[in-house]
Amino acid sequence: MVKGDMYLAQASDEEILKQGESGGAVTALLKFALDSGVVDAVLGVKKRDGNNRYDAVLDLITDPEKVIDCAGSLHCVSLNIARNVKEYLGGAKQMKIAVLCKPCDARAIIEIAKRKQINRDNLLLIGLNCTGTLPPVVAKEMLISEYEVDPNEVVMEDIEGGELIVTLADGTKIAKDLLELEKKGYGRRDNCRRCNVSIPTLADIACGKWGVKEGEKKTFTEVCSDKGAEFIDNAIKTGVIKVEPPGEDAIEERKRKDREAIELSNKCEAEDLKELREISLDDRLAYWLHMFDRCIKCFSCRDACPICYCKKCFLEPDRGYVKGGEVPPDRMFHLTRLAHDGDSCVNCGQCQDACPAEIPLTRLYLMLNIKLSPMFDYVSGMDVEQKPPLIAAKDEEASIDDIDIFLVKGEAGEVVPQQ
């Protein structure tokens, strides 16, 4: 195997194959990673108490037999995987961990790793394709009012062809138009609408269902790094997964779906930011000040942000920017975060999910990030070797006098984060 190789994979173990969302390859690989000592632990996602799919929890697993508890994909989730690795698992500095990650989780991990707060070398990133997650409480409401089903009857969710498809225990499938649901305030998390990385090729391997024929239990797997290649090679040698090359049509199909997902996200982005982009500067400022003044200064957005990197936070009163004991806080509160994180924001949506005042923070950050990306040739969270743009000045820039060089580059075009 080398980077770029793709194949259809299937767990050899019958039970894993049965429990797996697609071909169970992910579960089989994770079990192998523990069995073979490639990692000390697996950070997986599972239903609370084994049955509540609207209350997903992270599980740090060291017993290979327990990996199967996490099999299956949970869509009604907004777990903060990256921040957990940084905060509660010591940045993976003391142990090797296989981390299950959607594109936003992986990108956030990469951004923290750049700031040396996570040790990327100790992580095996198992990427899952993703086109959206749902806020759990709102999702339950939606299932009752729109799907007219008991949320506890649901055994699977899926987003496919612009529809949100729910499968019930008795096998019934109900599909509804995703954008129609979202018009009513249901559907995906706000940031997911505008997320334009569906295949996490920045992880060590990227796994998904795209490219797999309807009804087949296989996992389409792409090898994305040398580490991923070595890992998969060993897994195949021990026989824990069976692999076959995907046909040209499967590869094409996966590409097409990825393209469609990006088109949809571009469409949603254009729609969601249209008004903010078109109104006058004065109106835009009035809008954001109004939003900022809803803030109760709970610090949740800061604490949720995987990128927030200062060891001693500038929002604390002793730093001299934001006075203590004032609500709503000085507007420096919000502008400081924007100045610190705007260039590296990965649109994971954690800040907005955490905000009790429902400030649409991700729209502000995305609006800035989209502008900065082409200026600095920088797509956040894609390459651990690429330094954050504000500290990435290169020696050759010393021979360029033009003060507006980055601004001019920015005008020239927007970067689409696809490799």
Ligand X SMILES: Cc1cc2nc3c(=O)[nH]c(=O)nc-3n(C[C@H](O)[C@H](O)[C@H](O)COP(=O)(O)OP(=O)(O)OC[C@H]3O[C@@H](n4cnc5c(N)ncnc54)[C@H](O)[C@@H]3O)c2cc1C
What strands lie across the sheet with 6-11, from one edge to the other? 52-61, 41-48, 97-101, 123-128, 205-208, 219-223, 6-11, 241-244
Residue among 306, 386, 313 at smallest CA distance from 349: 306
Choose the contact partner of 128 out of ligand SF4, ligand X, another protein, none; CB within 5 to 8 A by kind: ligand X
**Which residues from 321-340 bind another protein, rule CB under 8 A?**
321, 323, 326, 330-332, 335-336, 338-339
73 touching another protein, by CB under 8 A: no
From the CB of residue 2, how many other CB atoms can be counted at a distance below 10 Å?
9
191 touching ligand SF4, by CB under 6 A: yes
Choose the contact partner of 300 out of ligand X, ligand SF4, another protein, none; CB within 5 to 8 A by kind: ligand SF4
- CA 402 – CA 272 distance, rounded (Å): 34
CB of 70 to ligand X, least distance (A): 4
374 touching ligand X, by CB under 6 A: no
Using CB under 6 A, which of 175, 357, 368, 415 touches ligand SF4? 357
Burial class (CB in 10 A: 0-12, 13-18, 19+), 16: buried
CB of 47 to ligand X, least distance (A): 9
298 touching ligand SF4, by CB under 6 A: yes
128 touching ligand X, by CB under 6 A: yes
CB of 207 to ligand SF4, least distance (A): 13
Residue with tokens 């959607």: 102
Chain-centre distance of CA 259, in angstroms?
A: 18
Report how many residues bind ligand X under the rule CB under 6 A.
31
- CA 265 – CA 248 distance, rounded (Å): 26
CB of 243 to ligand X, least distance (A): 12
**Secondary structure of the chain: what % helix, strand, coil (to 5)?**
45, 15, 40
CB of 118 to ligand SF4, least distance (A): 18
Return the SS3 of 222.
strand
- Classify strands 6-11 and 241-244 as parallel, antiparallel or unpaired: antiparallel
Which residues contact another protein (rule: CB under 8 A)? 281-288, 314, 321, 323, 326, 330-332, 335-336, 338-339, 342-343, 364, 367-368, 371-372, 375-376, 389-395, 397-401, 403-407, 410
Residues at the contact surface with ligand SF4, assessed by CB under 6 A: 102-104, 130-133, 191-192, 195, 295-301, 347-349, 354-357, 359
